[in-house]
Amino acid sequence: MKMHIEFRHLRTIRAIHDAGGVARAADLLNITQSALSHQIKGLEEQTGVELFIRKSKPIRLSVAGQRLLKLANKILPEIDALQSEFDDLRAGKSGRLHIAIECHACFEWLFPVLEKFRQKWPDVDIDIKPGLAFEALPALQKENVDLVISSDPEKLSGITFTHLFDYKSVFVASAKHPFSKKKWIEASDFATETLITYPVDRTRLDVFSQLLIPNKIEPAQIRQADLTSIILLLVASDRGVTVLPDWVVSEIKNNSDYTVKPLKKTGVQRGLFAATRTECLDKPFMRNLIDLAGQEAGRLQKD
Amino acid sequence: MKMHIEFRHLRTIRAIHDAGGVARAADLLNITQSALSHQIKGLEEQTGVELFIRKSKPIRLSVAGQRLLKLANKILPEIDALQSEFDDLRAGKSGRLHIAIECHACFEWLFPVLEKFRQKWPDVDIDIKPGLAFEALPALQKENVDLVISSDPEKLSGITFTHLFDYKSVFVASAKHPFSKKKWIEASDFATETLITYPVDRTRLDVFSQLLIPNKIEPAQIRQADLTSIILLLVASDRGVTVLPDWVVSEIKNNSDYTVKPLKKTGVQRGLFAATRTECLDKPFMRNLIDLAGQEAGRLQKD
DNA sequence: ATTTTATATGAATTACATTCATATAAAATA
DNA sequence: TATTTTATATGAATGTAATTCATATAAAAT
């Protein structure tokens, strides 16, 4: 009396209908006729209605039975579809790729990469989570995201950092700016300047982490802007100076509105890494994304 | 390895999600936590994908798990709905009422009855099968129909005939017809007449079964018409004579276009019966239909 | 009426879900 | 950080329910 309707029963109903009888259905399901007979008897007890008309010999579905069959024909394909979705998932054709980017400027090269990726892996669920830019690595461990783009590799259990490419952080100012005569920019130079940055914690900005904080220099003023194009606009109109990755700057290097200088005599070189859960590197789409990211980086550097 | 996804699994997934953890879900389902743990392990083996993220402590659904949950939330209510449909069926609120009528003129009184019935039993699936007018009783036994309206009760195993009402078969002709002077009509009178009948086997027509066949009389001519109103039209314009149940004739009894006479000196009295499978008499809607038919009959006779 | 074919059923068997006892691992707490 | 608490996992034992086997019964076909 505790028994429930189970998929077994739906498969049975469908088989009996398709095969046109219990005995034939039994072959179809690789099961004995007796088993099916017991099964439908149990099902009729459970549902409380007669599912079959037993007066005719290959037994037929009653009205109630037909109703159940209808449901079976609706539900069973859905389960099969789900199973094949799962098969895709296991085969690595589908999956989830939720990305957190610590580096704000990375949008620039990430979008073209994702566009290529999307074409090759249409069933992978792509998303970018800019919200949790900080705390990205814990989120990665907790499987809230699957990929973190970061400049600061850490030793973390279960997390692997894959080197994507190197870039330089370069100083950008208006062409009219007095620093256009300098060969390179020092930390101390910022003390009198208005610095334009992305609106993120300063520890996540190369200018600060690599130059100003170590040298204990505070810019005269800080102004924040969301989009790279806005920052460049502000710089062009001499409202301040900024520091950006060289790949961003490559587009405006030959633009006479701007002057671009290295930071320090040696330049400030940084690496960009893809952080993933180690086991995820087995997934083909994940490896492919990292490959694509490397290729795109190469293309940017050439310009 | 042969295991399939079962409803148990869907209920489990849903419970784990709703309760927010395996342990709490276990209470919810009145089952041990261990059972659920084994269950989801088996399910993961079957599907081949990880359904849960086990890094966090009350375990969460993975992407695949969420997909399964979505399906569970779709499917489980459908099964519940079906079960309550079955409950209605068992309670006698719903069911099938497919009717075969041997007696062609019965449409006349059956339609109003069914209209009343439909209002009271909206979930009963009503249908009239005029096609298998002959062979109606075997169809009843085979559960192809559930009710047969017949004038000829037989002793048949599993079939019960319920008397609905009696009627007389009466002769109808145009008012101008010479027989309008007769007190009653004999079989021999038909030998010179054109008889208009429903287009059915003559054994199912009262004139033949009750009068002409026993007396071995053949009408001069036979003409067939589908609808009672057409038959009456033909009779009014003196294209022939007919024999109809008195309840049909009651409408035109006072119409000066027609003359109505009894058959034979004594009249030809017949009964009308509802044949059903005996077990179907337990169903409340079936009893109610038979009651309604009786009432409607009473109303017709009064006119 | 008889044979054939299809379904039903009781008892035995087997498979498998569940429980129990306990290990393991994450989260909370000190 | 160590410790306690809470949550899940697991192996072995148990119990239940699905399946099989052997056979009875009933409808269809001959």
CA B163 to chain centroid, in Å, comes to 18
**Phi-psi domain of A126 (left: phi exceeds 0; alpha: psi -120 through 50; beta: other):** beta
A243-A244-A248 Cα angle (round to 5):
150
The whole-number Å distance from A22's CA to C3's C1' is: 21
Name the least confident of A153-157, B145-149, B208-212, B233-237. A153-157
pLDDT, tens only, B9-40? 999 999 999 988 888 888 888 999 999 999 99
| Alpha carbons B103 and A133: distance in angstroms, whole number | 82
**Phi-psi domain of B22 (left: phi exceeds 0; alpha: psi -120 through 50; beta: other):** alpha
Compute the nearest-CA separation of B288 from chain A (Å): 21
Last residue of a domain, one of A31, A56, A91: A91
Residue B157: count other Cβ atoms within 10 Å of its Cβ: 6
Cα dihedral A89, A92, A93, A94, rounded to 10, equals 40
Within-domain flag for B1: no
| Alpha carbons A294 and B8: distance in angstroms, whole number | 47
Q: What does DSSP say about strands A147-150 and A52-53: parallel, antiparallel, or unpaired?
A: unpaired
Judge whether A64 is closer than 8 Å to chain B, CB to CB.
yes
Do B249 and B123 share a domain, yes or no? no
Do B279 and B140 share a domain, yes or no? yes
Do B234 and B197 share a domain, yes or no? yes
**Phi-psi domain of B39 (left: phi exceeds 0; alpha: psi -120 through 50; beta: other):** alpha
The residue with greater pLDDT, B226 or B147, is: B147
| CATH number of A50's domain | 1.10.10.10
| Alpha carbons B77 and B85: distance in angstroms, whole number | 12
pLDDT, tens only, B251-283? 777 788 899 999 998 888 998 888 888 888 888
Q: Which amino acid is at A70?
A: K
Last residue of a domain, one of B53, B68, B91: B91
The verdict on a CB contact (< 8 Å) between A142 and B75 is no
Range(s) of the domain holding residue B72: 7-91
- H helix runs in chain B, sequence order: 7-19, 22-28, 33-47, 63-91, 107-120, 136-141, 206, 213-215, 228-236, 246-249, 284-302
**What SS3 class is residue B59?**
coil
Residue A26: count other Cβ atoms within 10 Å of its Cβ: 20
Output DSSP code: residue B159. E
Last residue of a domain, one of A45, A62, A91: A91
| Alpha carbons B55 and A107: distance in angstroms, whole number | 30
Q: How many CA atoms lie within 13 A of A35 on its CB side?
A: 12
| Alpha carbons B142 and B139: distance in angstroms, whole number | 5
Host H or E run for residue B221: strand B221-224
CB B29 within 8 A of CB B15: yes
pLDDT in the model for residue A131 = 58
The whole-number Å distance from A15's CA to C24's C1' is: 45
Do B260 and B282 share a domain, yes or no? no
Do A49 and A138 share a domain, yes or no? no
Within-domain flag for A214: yes
Name the least confident of A130-139, B57-66, B153-162. A130-139
Within-domain flag for A1: no
| Alpha carbons B263 and B285: distance in angstroms, whole number | 37
- Identify which of B153, B86, B147, B97 has the alpha carbon closest to the alpha carbon of residue B278: B147
What mean pLDDT, rounded, does chain B reach? 86
Do A121 and A18 share a domain, yes or no? no
Query: At B1, is the pLDDT very low, low, confident or very high (cuts 50, 70, 90)?
Result: very low
Which residue from A62, A68, A86 is facing B82, i.e. has the nearest CB? A68
How many domains is chain A built from? 2
Do B113 and B188 share a domain, yes or no? no
pLDDT in the model for residue B221 = 92
Within-domain flag for B2: no
**Which residue has 């209002």 as its token pair?**
B119
| Alpha carbons A276 and A150: distance in angstroms, whole number | 11
The percentage of residues in chain B with a pLDDT greater than 70, rounded to a whole number, is 96
Compute the nearest-CA separation of A104 from chain B (Å): 27
Q: Digits of tens for pLDDT over chain A (303 positions)? A: 446 888 999 999 999 999 888 889 898 889 999 999 999 999 888 888 888 988 777 888 888 888 899 999 999 999 989 988 888 888 778 888 888 887 777 877 888 888 888 888 888 888 887 656 567 887 888 778 888 888 888 877 778 888 988 888 999 999 889 998 889 999 999 999 999 998 888 888 889 988 999 999 999 999 988 888 888 899 998 999 999 988 888 777 778 889 999 999 888 888 888 888 888 888 888 888 988 888 887 776 665
Do A74 and A115 share a domain, yes or no? no
Do B16 and B70 share a domain, yes or no? yes
Judge whether B91 is closer than 8 Å to chain A, CB to CB.
no
The verdict on a CB contact (< 8 Å) between B68 and A85 is no
Query: At B72, is the pLDDT very low, low, confident or very high (cuts 50, 70, 90)?
Result: very high
Do A107 and A38 share a domain, yes or no? no
- H helix runs in B158-211, sequence order: 206
| CATH number of A241's domain | 3.40.190.290
3-state secondary structure chain A: CCCCCCHHHHHHHHHHHHHCCHHHHHHHCCCCHHHHHHHHHHHHHHHCCCCEECCCCCCEECHHHHHHHHHHHHHHHHHHHHHHHHHHHHHCCCEEEEEEECCHHHHHHHHHHHHHHHHHCCCEEEEECCCCCCCHHHHHHCCCCCEEEECCCCCCCCEEEEEEEEEEEEEEEECCCHHHHCCCECHHHHHHCEEEECCCCHHHCHHHHHHHCCCCCCCCEEEECCCHHHHHHHHHCCCCEEEEEHHHHCCCCCCCCEEEEEECCCCEEEEEEEEEEHHHHHCHHHHHHHHHHHHHHHHHHHC
Do B264 and B211 share a domain, yes or no? yes
Output DSSP code: residue B160. E
Do A151 and A103 share a domain, yes or no? yes
CB B99 within 8 A of CB B133: no
| Residue at minimum CA to C1' distance from nucleotide C8 | A37
| Alpha carbons A23 and A37: distance in angstroms, whole number | 9
| Alpha carbons A29 and A33: distance in angstroms, whole number | 10
Shortest CA distance from A143: residue in chain B: B53
**Phi-psi domain of A15 (left: phi exceeds 0; alpha: psi -120 through 50; beta: other):** alpha
- Identify which of A178, A286, A295, A296 has the alpha carbon closest to the alpha carbon of residue A238: A178
Q: Say yes or no: Cβ of A57 under 7 A from any atom of strand C.
A: yes
Q: Say yes or no: Cβ of A28 under 7 A from any atom of strand C.
A: no
Cα dihedral A87, A89, A90, A91, rounded to 10, equals 80
**What SS3 class is residue B186?**
coil
Which residue from A48, A78, A82 is facing B86, i.e. has the nearest CB? A48
Structure tokens at B256: 């000066």
pLDDT in the model for residue A134 = 61
The whole-number Å distance from B13's CA to C19's C1' is: 20
| CATH number of B253's domain | 3.40.190.10
